[in-house]
Chains A and B, each alone.
Chain A
Amino acid sequence: GAVVSQHPSRVICKSGTSVKIECRSLDFQATTMFWYRQFPKQSLMLMATSNEGSKATYEQGVEKDKFLINHASLTLSTLTVTSAHPEDSSFYICSATSTSSGDYEQYFGPGTRLTVT
């Protein structure tokens, strides 16, 4: 079945530094990838949608200059949290879909726990 991986699974960084999270579709070509954020004991909130080869579309209230998304290939999307602050600490989850498959199901990665100290 469709598998999506994320790397790293956990990352700790210091305030003011940047951190990159990778999302890969391992056995299918992901025309669209999504990034979600989940605070402890809360739901998932869509941050942005990225289509291969084009600029990401950010949800209202998400700072695009802070959360840089790149979808350079059909199997890889990256989320870079720039100048991270403690309030950026959260669980980041990506999902991927292939709009050419017809079912448009979103396959989720295992998530990345970011802690900013």
Chain B
Amino acid sequence: AQTVTQSQPEMSVQEAETVTLSCTYDTSESDYYLFWYKQPPSRQMILVIRQEAYKQQNATENRFSVNFQKAAKSFSLKISDSQLGDAAMYFCAYRSGAGGGADGLTFGKGTHLIIQP
């Protein structure tokens, strides 16, 4: 079974600064997808960024980028120019690629990100 570990229960960053959230995972599969989701107080899950395991290039989405280290099974999220609206719970998630898209997500325990004005 796959596991996802987020070792930082809470992180705090000054507005406009950069913060990195850590995530490691364990799997024996070669085909999989990794995600970062944001859950604000409304509890609506919002996809931040995704990474296909077969792609060597790290994914980027505006101020959000990942550092995907496949051999180390590490998938960290970097948020640049942090904004007050970035404050939320962030979940790292894994999905197998074997099920043709019909596999559920395995989530880490989450990191609570606080933005200091």
Contact = CB atoms under 8 A, between A and B. Distances in A.
Interface of A: 31-32, 34, 36, 38, 42-46, 49, 51, 59, 91, 93, 95, 97, 99, 104-106, 108, 110-111
Interface residues of B, number: 20
B43 A111 contact: yes
B108 A43 contact: yes
Interface of B: 33, 42-45, 47, 50, 91, 95, 100-110
11 contacts: A36-B105, A42-B110, A43-B108, A44-B45, A45-B107, A49-B102, A95-B105, A97-B102, A99-B101, A104-B100, A106-B105
Contact of A44 (B44, B50, B91, B101): B91
The A contact surface, by secondary structure, is strand
Contacts of A95: 45, 105
A49 B45 contact: no
A104 B42 CA distance: 24
